[in-house]
């Protein structure tokens, strides 16, 4: 059974490692009540990685955009890490439940 699973995954792994599917990780650090970036230009398939390094503030990140919906439901606090993958093109805003002024715009292209 184990062997079957590995055999099934192997072609997918090769496919993802080919240069045509090179994936960029856009790391955003949250500290001092701020995000390290307020705008990201990304490609479909890229990862946006949130790193919470804030001693004083809790951030709760979400997007209500139809094609890029997510919500970090738990309290996102110091030391936490959370990734989203860009699944389709378009621009959307990442907002924060805890801070109405916090906004990170993601421009995703094919
Ligand atoms: Cu915040």
Q: Where are the domains of the chain?
A: 23-109
Query: How many angstroms does the Cα of residue 38 sit away from the middle of ligand 1?
Result: 12
Do residues 48 and 26 make contact, with C-beta atoms less than 8 angstroms apart? Answer: yes
> Which CATH class, in words, describes the domain spanning 23-109?
mainly beta
* Cβ neighbours around 100 below 10 Å, total: 8
- Percent pLDDT > 90 in the chain is 64
List strands edge to edge, sheet with 39-43: 39-43, 99-109, 90-96, 61-63, 70-71
> How much is the pLDDT for 31?
93
- Which position has the token pair 């993601």? 106
Query: How many angstroms does the Cα of residue 33 sit away from the middle of ligand 1?
Result: 6
- pLDDT band for position 20 (cuts 50, 70, 90): low
Q: What is the pTM of this model?
A: 0.77
- pLDDT band for position 57 (cuts 50, 70, 90): confident
Start-end of H helices in the chain: 2-17
């Amino acid at each position: 059974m184990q062997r079957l699973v590995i055999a099934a995954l192997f072609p997918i792994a090769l496919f993802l490692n080919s240069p045509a599917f090179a994936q960029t990780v856009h790391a955003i650090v949250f500290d001092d009540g701020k995000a390290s970036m307020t705008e990201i230009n990304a490609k479909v398939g890229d990862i946006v990685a949130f790193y919470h390094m804030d001693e004083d503030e809790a951030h709760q990140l979400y997007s209500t955009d139809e094609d890029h919906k997510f919500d970090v439901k738990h309290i996102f606090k110091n030391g936490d890490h959370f990734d989203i993958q860009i699944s389709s093109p378009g621009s959307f805003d990442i907002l924060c439940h805890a801070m109405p002024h916090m906004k990170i715009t993601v421009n995703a292209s094919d």
